[in-house]
Structure 1
Amino acid sequence: MSFPYDNPANVLRKLGLVAGGRLLNAAKALFSKNAPLTVQAAVFAGRDKITFLDIQNYQGNIFELAAKVELYVQEHINWRADLSGSIRVEIPEIPVRAIKEAIINSLCHRDFSNPKSNEVAIYRDRIEIFNPGLFPYEYSPEDFITGSQPSIPRNPLIAETLFRSEDIEKWGSGLRRISQECRAAGVKVTFTKIKSGFVVTFLRPETRNMQGDAPKGGGVNGGVNGGVNSLLDFIVRKPGLRLPALSDKLKISNRTLEKWLTRLKNEKKIVYKGSPKTGGYYPV
């Protein structure tokens, strides 16, 4: 937080989250370990919700949910490796900062009287982040992208806390930053007012494999297959490494690598040799 404090009670008081000695609902949504907030996140096989490849129902407070959902999206989008320099650089198909901004904004500006969950849907051709909070009726998303209108926070105490924690930069700038990040990366993004809330949609670029080669397959399946194949190639070239070393070398999360390693073992393409502490993965 951007002010000195010595204990949680002092923080809550300075943020205006306590009244009459009791926590306000905003404080519970932000910090409670028993916050009743949920986000449904899913990966779908195609361009509709007929077949899903993975589905999760996350619960927690705003800070916990933002971290969990951001990680979920990062693990299910495609990344390519830029090997042009001396250091391998992983580049996401959609800017991570734009994804983070869309997620935190959907939680910050949701309608807490609406029992419907926030939703993140990852399709083959797009990613949709749904917020069950109606957009200000007389305004359009473009009003806030251009900065022609002042901020209208639905939950000002929550917005102020997220500003203090530096999860948002300033009120009313979220849509503009998402738009700027996507424009710089050549990614198309749309903002849509619907009857039940508000949706930010990232259109996914042409799927490429992890090495940045020509496209192979499409959507989630293409990215996963490319990642698994690249992992297998790496193990062939550098056998004997354990999960932490592979994660460090490839700059990919342990959770994602565990899934890929399990798949390769089930396909009998790799085998783990040695003890859990000193062994490693080898090609079959």
Structure 2
Amino acid sequence: MTKETLAYENIDREFKELYVSDIKKTVVAFANTEGGILYIGINDAGEVVGLPNVDDVMQQTANTLKDSIAPDVMPFVKIRAVTKEGKQIIKVAVQNGTSRPYYIREKGLKPSGVYIRQGSSNQQLSDEGIRRMLIEVNGKSYESMRSMQQELTFTALRKHFRQRELKLDEAQLRTLKLIGDDGLYTNLALLLSEQCEHSLKVAVFQGSTRAVFRDRREFTGSLLQQLYDAYAFIDNYNKTKATFHGLERVDTQDYPPEAVREVLLNCLVHRDYSFSGSTLVNIYDDRIEFISLGGLVTGLKMETIFIGVSQTRNPALAAVFYRLRLIESFGTGIEKIQQSYLDTAAKPEFIAVYGGFKVVLPNVNEVQAKEFSISETQEYYGFVDEKDKVMQLAAVQGYVTRKQVEDALQVKTTKAYMLLQELCDAGRLAPIGVGRSRKYISR
């Protein structure tokens, strides 16, 4: 036994008269701050009262700290019996741990479970403080940091691995970096779990402004589930229009499916998840806007991206998507988007600003409708009557309005209305809507 000289409680010293389970809070606080020494057998006034059963208390203390604190703090804790004023007490020496933040296992990695030392008291650490400590200690990207949520499920992830006949056991979770070196789930695991805290919001607007909502949906859960659900929702609004080349009918969707797919993947794989906001998709009549948080990775410019240079913000997340064959290789997404619009007049827009990135996909059929020239169409197809011209207008954009007939045929309102009415009577067109919003669609 060695003798100790003690003083008052401080940032690195605390007294307990008897063993209590709350000593784990003090040990967590010491390990998260500057280290310290906890004495059991000394009261709050600094008076040595001693312990009658030192061995039992030492064992109880060791079990409590081992079972109640995560990550494992024991490599930084030494428990020994010492003598003070002829009485036996226990000295629990705690070093500043290397796997901070430490927390009470049953509370989790959140304020109620994480403590630091302030003066002679243990204080809960805020959510923001926990994040800062994780970044400070680990010096890692968001996806590789320890998740603050450890109760995770992977239903969607396991389903997609099974569908591709891929193995997903604990060893694979470690290889894919869902489990870190400390044996705990990383933020990558959080993103791929049903408990993912980020969402993807899709809004559908009437016309080309945000004045009137037509529909909206928020997708949550695993990023994989968000990907599939959001794509299916967007696809419902990706209308197909028919055009005729001679006798052949050609169906064209408003947006090339490959472009929608690639932009959606890029939004999810490359965004900065240290931001808490949602990924946004806004659908208008003439375009779709995809907005993700984070902007370009530091050091890259748009010019760099366009020549094929790739630097993903979340390489481990990208690796999982690659393994699931959702992405073929790194750095080809923008090229694929551009290729899908190769034969169209309007091209996608890529806009990078500080903290954000936006991709705008133009509506192919809307652009074609605006560029439609009735005189050129008449010359090419050999149309001989005005009704055929009206039907061609309707075929190009899926509908025709009275005003469009007036402009295309250079006729007055009465004449345009008469032509449309005759086509409706003949069963070739059908009116929808009333008043100025009335349209005529092909039957």
TM-score normalised according to structure 2 size: 0.44
Q: Indicate the residue corresponding to 1:68 in structure 2.
A: 229
Q: Indicate the residue corresponding to 1:281 in structure 2.
A: none
Q: Indicate the residue corresponding to 1:94 in structure 2.
A: 255
Matched residue type, 2:396: A
Matches within 5 A, 1:1-284: 6-19=167-180, 20-30=182-192, 32-81=193-242, 91-147=252-308, 149=309, 151-184=310-343, 187-207=346-366, 213-215=395-397, 216=399
Q: Indicate the residue corresponding to 1:222 in structure 2.
A: none
Q: Deviations over 1:27-83 (max 9, x none)?
A: 2212x1121221110111122212111111111211111111111111112212578
Deviation at 1:172, TM superposition (A): 1.7
Matched residue type, 1:22: L
> Cα gap change, 1:141/1:176 in structure 2, threshold over 3 Å: closer, same or farther?
farther
Cα distance in structure 1, aligned partners of 2:258 and 2:365? 20
* Structure 1 segments unaligned to the other structure (5+ residues): 219-235, 237-284
Matched residue type, 2:395: D
- Confirm or deny: 8 A CA contact 1:187 1:203 kept in the other structure: yes
- Confirm or deny: 8 A CA contact 1:126 1:203 kept in the other structure: yes
SS of 2:396 mapped into structure 1: coil
* Structure 2 segments unaligned to the other structure (5+ residues): 1-160, 370-390, 402-426, 428-443
- Percentage of identical aligned residues: 26
Query: How many residues align structurally?
Result: 217
Matched residue type, 2:257: V
- Confirm or deny: 8 A CA contact 2:243 2:396 kept in the other structure: no
Max Rg structure: 2
- Confirm or deny: 8 A CA contact 2:199 2:218 kept in the other structure: yes
> Cα gap change, 1:143/1:217 in structure 2, threshold over 3 Å: closer, same or farther?
farther
SS of 1:134 mapped into structure 2: coil
> Cα gap change, 1:212/1:27 in structure 2, threshold over 3 Å: closer, same or farther?
farther
Q: Indicate the residue corresponding to 1:260 in structure 2.
A: none
Deviation at 1:4, TM superposition (A): 7.8
Cα distance in structure 2, aligned partners of 1:126 and 1:114? 26
Q: Deviations over 1:86-128 (max 9, x none)?
A: x998532211111111001101111111111000000122110
TM-score normalised according to structure 1 size: 0.66
